[in-house]
Structure 1
């Protein structure tokens, strides 16, 4: 093959890749921004939860292992409030979350509560927090009926993977782009350089996080193999693959055996590993089962190594290590979830996730500016739609998130369904900012106004935390409450950055005196 023919084929391949790369970003950029941004927040979900739940700011766990029999079991009946308990579980305290978190299923519904390691029940937190709102929004879009949200996220993730691969093919000078960023001159050039820089610099992370996300969701959205091999019995598949164990209730009442000896046996089987979650199925029944999951903070793999005991006798029922395929899946899942206790890597995940947001946002903005130049002052309905989508899914998403944090500090504790009120504030702020962006894009997207709103809300959230809890930065340092201090510092930095961008955008949109004089002279 001649050199000229090779160049021609390469040029044709890049031209063919340009269309899917462009329109994947334009059509799905809003969803990708939501998934990446909420995934970035989920990296520090425990820390954000601590900020949103002041009752849980009780200091680090220093009292050693928790006695489930003395501290946890008595609280289950208190949380159930006299209702018959069917199943329950408790998340044990750790360095990032120094409280026990309970979920109790009763005959008439579910109940939840939190308690200290010594068994003191805390007041209701009145919020879903990051762990129960931002995190599910990341992987299911809160559309769990029929796994619709999982399907959408999986489809968008595949499109993201295709966009990354096509982007590598399009950019022939990928290594030169690594060292190129022209922040001066035309805005299109700056956006393209920032888009290329964010894509090239964090490319391995983007490929890894997108691929592992697809691998995690794949068994849910493509269960054909499970149905073929297990005749549609999904429960039997998970029992075989993950080492689970289950059995129906017997209908015979029986007391629960002591849990502490079961935890000690699980530690022995794990070779010194620590428990993270304890489940009790068929509570109060002769066929009750106790499941103890291992904490994965000391490893990359998300292998929780569940150990199952008979709830009435304490005898070991099931414990086996996963096969090579399941173990590989656990490692890929661990790479995506970043549940390991490694703070430099956790920060790297967070910043890389934000870089993904920059990659997506600059791609949409570059498309908008390119169309604006090509079509003049009336770029068309398509341009306006993408501009409204870009504004609503970037600054609008920030406004919604910060509005929820502000509502968390402003809503009184006694408000009925307080957690749902916070969620309502989130969606109302998001919808409102998107509508305002759609109306304003007839002239120009309201970037400056949105950035000013982000700055005002971020600063207000930090101040409201100091006012409502009394925990100002100096006190947080004195108490070594680094999670709360970290969230406050992040809010303050967000406020400063957003205010700076807002002022710069306002200056760009306001013509100076010399420009007005030139226009007058030409008139």
Structure 2
């Protein structure tokens, strides 16, 4: 006796299957849109907090005063000792000196005095939305990495599925005959952005899956020691020693870099385990005309040079790993590269949007009418930028303390829900056609 499935059950299963496909497309759309906006993350920081002190450079002694002032302030406030302290060195794109700990961040003035807290929560929200979908870090960045793999597969399979895609690279049929015009634009944009799309998808997948891969390797081969996995690429942390100690000599390390590596543009000074006997200092230096995010220059707590990690001249795999970040975010080559990234990112966003419309159109032509799914997709396409604008408005009205993630996700869900409800009312109010 063969089991049979009710037609209604099959129809509901197909609708659920389609909804899952749209959910995946929606996440790709959100990632592409937020990534395109985040290209100008540095510039938007200056817009979000325009009154922060700015300077072309800061003296090593001023940096030292700033480090000591922030550490003293945290001790006075009774905060838990920070494990890492970062000093952003003023550069052309972001001419600000900022000290960041595990719990807070402060802008410094030219003399190294604490000027004001850093208040760029909206920008941080946007970056976290792109990096982790505002989920817990490990879970979110892994999901985003998986979608990077999915985007890479879509790019490559799209070329294979359309053997004439390159020959028809500039062929556009203006009339939207049963979705032909939309399909042409989708295919043309896919061809024109193919190298960019592959680069973004590949680097996004590498960045997103690196963390979970490191945890897996640590459990299987390093006894759970994640730092041991990262050590061959990013260098070793060194043995911890929690005994109290005076603040490290960051100024001496900065002076050494200015004297011995004058062509290296410093971007960050990093203090590991500050105010402990195991503390040490790293300088991150940007190498011009290179894709690496920077080389690590190691110093002990007295400012004595210990060596480099090898990002600039180490193994090819190490250099490649250090090059994924600039290639993914477009922060190399100046403003014109950023403008190109925004234009190409907007094209990728349009590809994500039109792809699902084309798919829904094909289902409609096969007699599968799904107005609620189409409305849900339109809700995603329109609701995502609307929700982002709502978070920006909240930043202007409420301030830095606004719950940006809640505003975005609740606003987007409400917009999608409203679109579905409106589509349902229209369908119920539509006149029945005669048989």
| Alignment TM-score > 0.5, same fold | yes
1:323 aligns with 2:315: yes
Q: Is the 8 A contact 2:97 2:109 kept in 1?
A: yes
**Mapped contact 2:88–2:267 kept (Cα < 8 A):** yes
Q: Is the 8 A contact 1:294 1:304 kept in 2?
A: yes
Q: Secondary structure in 1 aligned to 2:30? A: helix
- Decide which of 186, 189, 211 is 2:180's aligned counterpart: 189
The Cα of 1:196 is off from its aligned counterpart by: 0.9
Q: 1:363 aligns with which of 343, 355, 360?
A: 355
Matched, 1:280 2:268: no
Structure 1, unmatched stretches of 5+, are 1-21, 446-523
Is contact 1:24–1:160 with CA below 8 Å preserved after alignment? no
| Cα distance change, pair 55–388 in 1 and its aligned pair in 2 (3 A) | farther
SS of corresponding position for 2:51: helix
Aligned to 2:195: 204
For 1:305-320, what aligned pairs fall within 5 Å after superposition? 305-311=295-301, 313-320=302-309
Counterpart of 1:97? 94
Which segment drifts farther, 354-363 or 155-164?
Answer: 155-164
Q: How does 1:148-187 map to 2 (within 5 A)?
A: 148-186=139-177
Once the two structures are superposed, what CA deviation does each residue of 1:266-317 show, in whole Å capped at 9, x if it has no partner? 3455462122111222322232211221135x34422422122222x22234
Structure-1 separation of matches of 2:354 and 2:89: 42
Report 1:240-389 matches (<5 A): 240-251=232-243, 253-267=244-258, 270=261, 272-295=263-286, 298-311=288-301, 313-321=302-310, 322-375=314-367, 379-380=369-370, 384-385=372-373, 387-389=374-376
CA contact (8 A) 1:55 1:123 kept: no
Following TM superposition, by how much is the alpha carbon of 1:127 offset from its aligned partner in structure 2, in angstroms?
4.3
Q: CA 1:63 to 1:282, structure 2 compared with 1: closer, same or farther past 3 Å?
A: closer
Task: Report if aligned partners of 2:58, 2:97 keep a CA contact under 8 Å in 1.
Answer: no
Give the secondary structure class of the aligned counterpart of 1:306: strand
Q: 1:186 to 1:219 in 2, by over 3 A?
A: same
Superposed displacement of residue 318, structure 1:
4.4
Per the alignment, residue 425 of structure 1 pairs with: 407
**Is the 8 Å Cα contact of residues 242 and 276 (structure 2) preserved in structure 1?**
yes
Question: TM-score when scaled to structure 1?
Answer: 0.70
The 1:336/1:362 distance shift into structure 2, 3 A limit, reads same
Q: Does the 8 Å CA contact 2:57/2:91 hold for their aligned counterparts? A: no
Q: Distance in 1 between matches of 2:293 and 2:56?
A: 26
User: Contact 2:251 / 2:303 at 8 angstroms: preserved in 1?
Assistant: no
More helix as a share of residues: 1
**Which residue does the alignment assign to 1:519?**
none
Q: What is the total number of aligned residue pairs between the two structures?
A: 404
How many Å apart are 1:185 and its aligned residue? 4.0
Counterpart of 1:143? Answer: 135
Change (3 A) 1:76 1:225: closer
